[in-house]
Chain A
C-alpha cells in the first residue's frame, strides 16, 4: 500500500523561485491537508480540501496556493519562495466528513530549504 506519496523528498530553492509540491493518495479519501512542521511548533495547517473541488485556508496560508486536481491529488505551490518558508511539509489525507472519527494518514514529507 502506497498510502500518501509526496514528491520531491528534498528541495533547495533560491529566494523568489517558485515550485510545486505534489501529493497523491490511493485510499479514496475525501479530505486532504497540507501542513508545515517547524521545530517547537508542531504541525501547522496551511490549507485543506474537504472534497474534490474545494479548498480552504488553514492557520498559515500566506505565501501558498493549492490545487485539488482530482480526488487523489492535492498540490501546494510556492509562488515566490522566501527563507521563512524553509520547513518540512507534510501532506495528509483522511476519510473525513462532518463528525468523522477517522484519523489522518501522512506522507513522509518534503524537506524544503530556501536560501
Chain B
C-alpha cells in the first residue's frame, strides 16, 4: 500500500543552523511529491513539488528538496533556518490512483533564538 513516513515528530534547531526534514514514501511508480508547511492556526501552504526531471527542486522561503529514487526519499532542506520557519511540515504523495493524496504525520519544527 502507498504510504508516507516522516520519522521525526519533533525537531529543534538553533536559528541560523541548517535543517533537514526526512520523508520516505512507498509507491509503486515514480510519485508526485510535495512538501507543505502549516503555521499555527493556518492551513497548509505548498513549499515545493517534484514531478520529474532534476531531482533537486527549489521552493519558496529558501527551501529545497532532493528526490532519491534508490532510497525512496524526498528530504526537505534549508541552509539557514529563521525563527519564522517554526511550523509543522508535511510531506505528501499523490495523486494516488486518481485523486487521492497521502500525507505523512508531520514534523514539528522548533527554532531556538
Contacts and interface: CB of A to CB of B under 8 A. Distances in A.
B98 A109 contact: no
B43 interface: yes
Contact of B99 (A40, A48, A106, A108): A48
Given A41-B105, A108-B43, A103 B99 contact: no
B10 to A, nearest CB: 11
A48 B49 contact: no
B101 interface: yes
Given A31-B99, A45-B100, A100-B95, A106 B90 contact: no
B52 to A, nearest CB: 8
Contacts of A33: 101
A1 interface: no
B103 A42 contact: yes
Interface in B19-56: 32, 34, 36, 41-46, 49, 51
Contacts of A103: 34, 46, 49
A109 B106 contact: no
A96 B95 contact: yes
A74 to B, nearest CB: 13
B9 A40 contact: yes
B101 A101 contact: no
A114 B96 CA distance: 32
17 contacts: A4-B43, A42-B90, A43-B44, A43-B90, A48-B100, A58-B100, A90-B43, A94-B95, A94-B99, A96-B95, A101-B32, A101-B51, A103-B34, A104-B92, A106-B36, A108-B41, A109-B42
Given A40-B105, A56-B99, 8 more contacts: A43-B103, A58-B100, A98-B98, A104-B92, A104-B101, A105-B46, A107-B43, A108-B43
